[in-house]
Each structure stands twice: as structure tokens, then as C-alpha cells.
Amino acid sequence: MFHAIQVWFAATPPAAIVRDVVWFKALLESAHILADGLVLFSVGMICVRVARASSPDAAAEAARRFAPWVWGALAVAVSTGLVLLTGAGRRGLDNPMFQIKLAALLSAALVTGGLQLSLARDAGFWTVNPRRRAAAAMLGPLCFLLWLATVFAGRLLAYSTAFFEPRY
């Protein structure tokens, strides 16, 4: 099924541009990488404050301040990634590394969204009791590691044929 979708993607006008116009692909990749960096930085600022759980106001302020950057940069990364995906060929939808990237991305977005929502509703949510503080100490790094896994899996896509035999 994924192969059929990828073949359809490859026949679209954006795919031809991505494949044939080198500067356009480089521009998309640069925007994608810069957006990834902005997501990592912004999430890192939130995750460090959540993991420390020493000041509920600092964690809530970080989430409020950096949330627009996280989701705005993620929108840029996803949109540029979708256009790049049209010309991905064997590094596309049915590639296991892409599927790992997608799973990490969805997990990271859910954890990040959960952290941000909990802090928006109650600034002291993660400091109420020792169990929540312990959970925060684990969720902060986990959140950041999931975003790192997304970025690393995306970078490894370029070399994925060395790890996984192409299916077609």
C-alpha cells in the first residue's frame, strides 16, 4: 500500500521540482533542518524546566513562551518534509527508517502536547507531590529524547538503504 502511495507522490508536480531543481531541494532541506533545530531548542527549554520541577511558575512560563515556537517550527518541518517526501523514492513511506521517524515524531508531539496542556491548566501540576516530581524528572528527558530520535531517524533516512534492503 505504501509503495502505491509513494508512486503516486512521485508523479506529482512537486516531486518533479524536488527531483529536478537542485537549489529548490536544497532550500527545502535547509528549511527543514532549521525547523528541526528550532523545535529541539524550544522543546529543550521546556523539558529542562519540567524535569527540574523546582519552580512550577518557571516550567509553566517556559511552556507558554516556547509553545508557539515548537508548533510553528513543527508546521514548517512537516510541510517541507511532505514536499521532500514526494521526491523521496526508495527513502519514502515504506522505508522502515521513515516509519521509525514518524512513530518518534507522533510520540514526541503527544508527550510535548501533554506537558504543555498540563502546565497551561495548572502551573504546579508537576510539583504537587513526589510522584509527580519523579514523573516530571523522567518525562522531561524522555520528551527531548523522542524529538532527538525523530531528527536522527530523519538524518539516517539518507543512508537507510545500508540498513534496510529496498522493498521494490
User: Average pLDDT of the chain?
Assistant: 86
| pLDDT digit string, tens, across residues 64-115 | 999 999 999 999 999 998 888 877 665 677 778 888 999 999 999 999 999 9
| pLDDT digit string, tens, across residues 24-43 | 989 999 999 999 999 999 99
C-alpha dihedral (6, 12, 14, 15), degrees to nearest 10: 50
Q: Would you list the domain boundaries of the chain?
A: 2-159
Give me the pLDDT at residue 111, please.
Answer: 95
Cα torsion 27, 30, 35, 36: sign: positive
pLDDT band of 54, cuts 50, 70, 90 = low
**The pTM is what?**
0.84
